[in-house]
Structure 1
Amino acid sequence: MKKVITLSLLTMLMASATASATSINLRHEFIPEKDDLNSRHRDRMTIAHTFNNGIGISGELKWGYAEDDLDLSQLRSVGQEAIISYNYKLTKSLTIQPAYGLDAGDTSVTHKLNLKGTQKLTDNWKIAARYRYGYKNVSLAHTDNSHYHQINLTSGYKVGDFGLGIDFEFKLEQEKSTGYKGHNDYLNLVNFTADYQGFESGWIPFIELGMVAQNTDKDTPAPGKDEYVARYRVGMKYNF
């Protein structure tokens, strides 16, 4: 399955590269050590394109490090994701986007069904809401498949050459054991974003600061997430 996903991703990336309007997103993610939670570095590259007929495709490649230190000699693949979507403008300011994503890792494949609505309030301010149903198919022996529901509420505002945003992510897990402090419905993430869009070259640097639910106590009798931990991201975006 992983080889099939990788081939599909490469096909999508080549198709996007030949299109007239494509975006690329390169970013590095860092979660610091917290109690029993080891520090973690991750890198991602996303290439996406939306065609004139409203159909969108994107491919994302993910890398991590074997010892969770920033050591390029230990760089390894930790998955890839392919997404197909359709953008339908209900009005001049309201867009609806259904999408399907296939997220593949070494031991699992997650199917993601999304429905997103984006409302443009002014030329500089927009809000969005997205619902996701995720189904995780695990290939490990003695490990059950699982599913979840997720809602993201976001807002973005542009001030001059700067863009600011916030994202609230709520999750409803299948089991309380994978939730937050014994609850299967919880706030999973609060994420703040900022970017600079003033370079003539078209490159857009950005930073993100999030607080994400994590399991920091491996010995607790109630497994699951128990603390909110900082998550830092820095990257570059480019449209061409």
Structure 2
Amino acid sequence: MYQITDAQKQQFKEEGYFILENAIPAHHLDLLRGECQAFIDKANARMDAEGTDTLGLNHRNSRYFVSNCFREQPRLREFLFSPLMADICQATLGDDAYLFWEQYVVKGAEAGMKFSWHQDSGYVGYPDHKPYLTCWCALDDMSEANGTVHLLPFSRSGIRTWVKHVREEASNDLIGYFGSDPGVSVVAPAGSIAVFTSVNFHSSGTNTTDQMRRVYLAQYSCEPLTSADGSKLWGNAEPFLKAGELVVGQPPPELTKSAP
């Protein structure tokens, strides 16, 4: 089993991220790769149905964000609730963890779009939530050429909290950092995981290679994340860890606040 070191835990606290190289077991890597194309095909079908080549952050043959895939393909839960992910959650979030969100993030061959500087918390859209965890799982070897992710350490951004983002009209991206720091490039083999907090700024470049660049994003929170008014869950809140023990299969918590 992959061991997360004290140095990596400290880096997460001080800089907002760490990298685990070759961490995903081969059978889970095969699973994640094997399901990817079917969800790209479904995204294309949705665009076909609406007569468009752009739907939200999805741009046909260029960039795809396909979420909540585990609901359609329950086998993905084998990875999402695996011992590796439990260890990562406990090392970063603590003894309580919930599955918050997951999605495939794919850049098309030779035309894969960039993704602008943002915090994942920027997409939640309001400041009053505890930072959650992003596990950026490389399904292909990651390089500058295929548009890998760049992470901006806390010590270089000077920012450790949520900031308001602005929407870029052409891409529908939300942007929260406008500086010139290029960040730390994650050049790593397939099966590696970039682990970072949702208030870490990150971006990715274009894919100029002749192959797709595939990533599976698994995100976890230390408590259920709700809408700004607390009336509904923002995403998922599937229990994973409670007081350091596995609680997979328990129902999501019920919200006590009613919608206005």
Same fold (TM over 0.5): no
Question: Whose Rg is larger?
Answer: 1
Higher relative contact order (CA 8 A, sep 6+): 2
TM-score, with length taken from structure 2:
0.27
Q: Which has the higher strand share?
A: 1
TM-score, scaled relative to structure 1: 0.29
